[in-house]
Amino acid sequence: MSSGAAEKPRSSPVGRVAVSARRAAIARRPGATVSKAIILAGGDSTSLSVLTDAIPKPLLPVLNRPLIEWQLQALQRSGIEEVCIALSPHNFDPVSEYLATRAAPEMRLHYAVDEVPRGPAGSMKLFENILERDTFLAVDGGTFLGDVRIDALVRAHHARGAKATMGILPASITASSPEAVVSPDGRIQSIFQHHSSNDRRRSRPLTGLCVFDSAVFGLIPDKGFFDVKERLFVRLQEQGALVAAETTHGLCVAIDSVQRYYQLQVELLEGDFLFGSSYRQLADGIWVGEGTDLPPSAYVLGPVVIGSHCQIGDGAQFIGPAVIGDGSRIGSRSVVRSSVLWEQVQLAPGCKVETSIVTSSVSISEETWLRSSVLVPAGGAREETARFQPERLSPLAAPAGNGLSRKAGAGKALFDFVGAGALLILLSPVLLLCAVAIRLDSAGPVFFRQRRCGKSGEPFWMFKFRTMVPDADEKQVELREKNETDGPVFKMLADPRITRVGRLLRRTSLDELPQLLNVVRGEMSLVGPRPLASDQMRYCPAWRDRRLSVKPGMTGLWQVNGRSRSSFHDWVKHDIDYVKRQSIGLDLRILAKTVVAVIRGSGAY
């Protein structure tokens, strides 16, 4: 970990956008009862990866201004004087360097980066020496802060004597962020990621804001992945501490999907935000930055924001809500409608961009029509698109990955079917021998069957040879404190529930062979992320959605890279890496390494 505080005075991020007259009136509210905050901007944002692969999440442009600037400005208005910013290795340099000349001189900044991401609560532990004596505010790195009443959230926290108070949206608002089930007296009973099948009668979307008592640091371990919603809150509740929910007032949006990011721009443009000295207002709802001139033949229907030093061709049309980033070049006769363009975008003459997001430095060729898409540069001049539904918010954006072509996907499916069928026939004597050994060794069924999540979350029954005593699930509760992994799966090197034959089957991975039947049935693949139950993926919804974009596999990158000895962070990393890189060639290499790992018994217990 590396950390440090900002030392030299820096210019205030007056930036390009100022709050409206109505919101300016509430700037610098008196009576704030916390002076310190932490922004949890580390970790992998896989639900936004189509955008954050190109730019760190804290620097995502919102109305041509980085997200973290909005956050710092809102914190400053609420009286926050000291801010800790938890970053990951890949975004530490760009974010800290960006803020070095733009953070407000009244605020003291501390940075920390951990080479092995520890989750939101684990990241808070990095700043324990700064926050240990104070009540403090925690802000999710993907949360947009507008005129949200942070002081009201803090006062409610102190009035209730809570150890943690999480901000929730009003009951009239729906969102795709995680939701809390709240009791009538304001206690949080449980937290879940919204799905169409969930009961929403008493659930409320979370805002990404939480007030903590410093006593929570005593519940966070020094090592390993540790989540706020799934682990820290549970530990607080187990100790009888109050974990409360409080409705937030003002604008506070969790950017948890590409759709939500797009919709936020629309909501801000259609709201009452005004633009500061770096922008000039040409007409109602039309703002233009410094060094940008519109030709007389251009047509603009607001709300539209056009950044600084843009070049606009004759006959170009802008139909709001639309945002054009700094330094963009819009060719003659091009049309930008209900879209967000980042900086340095180039549209050749005659282009048409509708309800889309175009990221920085992308060039679109002449007469191209882009609709309901995200366009990002990849591999130099080559461009990639991802479809999304800007008019309708879905629970999570479709995970972005290179994926297999239709032809390659059909080849993989055929390879799985033929390969698994052949192995079932060839290994039938081994399967029979395992079944007899299990039956003679202990009472109970030969097979263990459990409901797991397949591709797109479709449930199926996964088969394994039984390796534990029949009442293993009940005994796991007693052994919970002896879990030797930091992930969602329970693992013990000397698990007393494992039978004698079961230990041999696990060490040789023979217990997994019945899953060949799942492969033949099309529920699994020979290679892919391991199939898990839905509650085992609750720690990281973005990881869950990425891994559910492909069929689960009997083996994968995680299995051939340490397996049970790997950390949860490594598990997430390998799953995401596989989805991004998947190919027939990669599958063959993983299968070859699996044979070696099984022979050696690497990481199996």
Domains in the chain (CATH in brackets) are 34-256 (3.90.550.10), 279-387 (2.160.10), 406-600 (no CATH)
Q: What is residue 167's predicted lDDT score, i.e. its pLDDT?
A: 86
Residue 313 and residue 328 in contact, taking contact as beta carbons nearer than 8 Å: no
Residue 30 and residue 286 in contact, taking contact as beta carbons nearer than 8 Å: no
Q: What is residue 198's predicted lDDT score, i.e. its pLDDT?
A: 42
As a whole number of angstroms, the distance between CA 560 and CA 280 comes to 58
Q: What is residue 554's predicted lDDT score, i.e. its pLDDT?
A: 93
pLDDT, the chain, mean: 80
CA distances from 256 to 140, 186, 194, 207, 231 (A): 10, 25, 12, 10, 20
The answer, yes or no, to whether residue 397 has pLDDT greater than 50, is: no
Q: Residue 3: pLDDT band by 50, 70, 90 thresholds?
A: very low
Q: pTM for this one?
A: 0.70
As a whole number of angstroms, the distance between CA 112 and CA 98 comes to 15
As a whole number of angstroms, the distance between CA 474 and CA 457 comes to 26
Q: Residue 24: pLDDT band by 50, 70, 90 thresholds?
A: very low
As a whole number of angstroms, the distance between CA 337 and CA 322 comes to 6
Among the listed residues 324, 288, 293, 296, the one whose alpha carbon sits nearest the alpha carbon of residue 311: 293
As a whole number of angstroms, the distance between CA 141 and CA 436 comes to 54
The answer, yes or no, to whether residue 140 has pLDDT greater than 60, is: yes
Q: How many CB atoms lie within 10 A of CB 72?
A: 27
375 has which bridge partners?
Answer: 358, 385
Per-residue model confidence as pLDDT tens digits over 33-58? 789 999 998 866 566 777 887 788 99
Instruction: Among 236-250, 369-383, 576-590, name the one with the lowest average pLDDT.
Output: 369-383
Q: What is residue 601's predicted lDDT score, i.e. its pLDDT?
A: 67
As a whole number of angstroms, the distance between CA 302 and CA 314 comes to 18
Q: How many CB atoms lie within 10 A of CB 570?
A: 17
- pLDDT > 90 fraction of the chain, expressed in percent and rounded: 32
Give the sign of the dihedral formed by CA 100, CA 106, CA 108, CA 111.
negative
Instruction: Among 81-85, 484-488, 588-592, name the one with the lowest average pLDDT.
Output: 484-488
Q: Residue 429: pLDDT band by 50, 70, 90 thresholds?
A: very high
Per-residue model confidence as pLDDT tens digits over 324-336? 999 999 999 999 9
> Coil, strand or helix: which one is 327?
coil
CA atoms within 13 A on the CB side of 267: 16
As a whole number of angstroms, the distance between CA 250 and CA 146 comes to 7
Instruction: Among 29-38, 407-416, 418-427, 509-518, name the one with the lowest average pLDDT.
Output: 29-38
> Coil, strand or helix: which one is 46?
helix
- Give the chain's end-to-end CA distance (angstroms, integer): 31
Among the listed residues 118, 143, 126, the one whose alpha carbon sits nearest the alpha carbon of residue 231: 118
As a whole number of angstroms, the distance between CA 503 and CA 492 comes to 12
Among the listed residues 243, 248, 25, 39, the one whose alpha carbon sits nearest the alpha carbon of residue 150: 248
Q: What is residue 2's predicted lDDT score, i.e. its pLDDT?
A: 41
H helix intervals, 315-470: 406-426, 428-441
Would you give the distance in Å from CA 61 to the centre of its chain?
Answer: 17
CA atoms within 13 A on the CB side of 424: 15
> Coil, strand or helix: which one is 173?
coil
Highest mean pLDDT: which of 232-246, 419-433, 554-568? 419-433
The answer, yes or no, to whether residue 313 has pLDDT greater than 90, is: yes
Q: Residue 67: pLDDT band by 50, 70, 90 thresholds?
A: very high
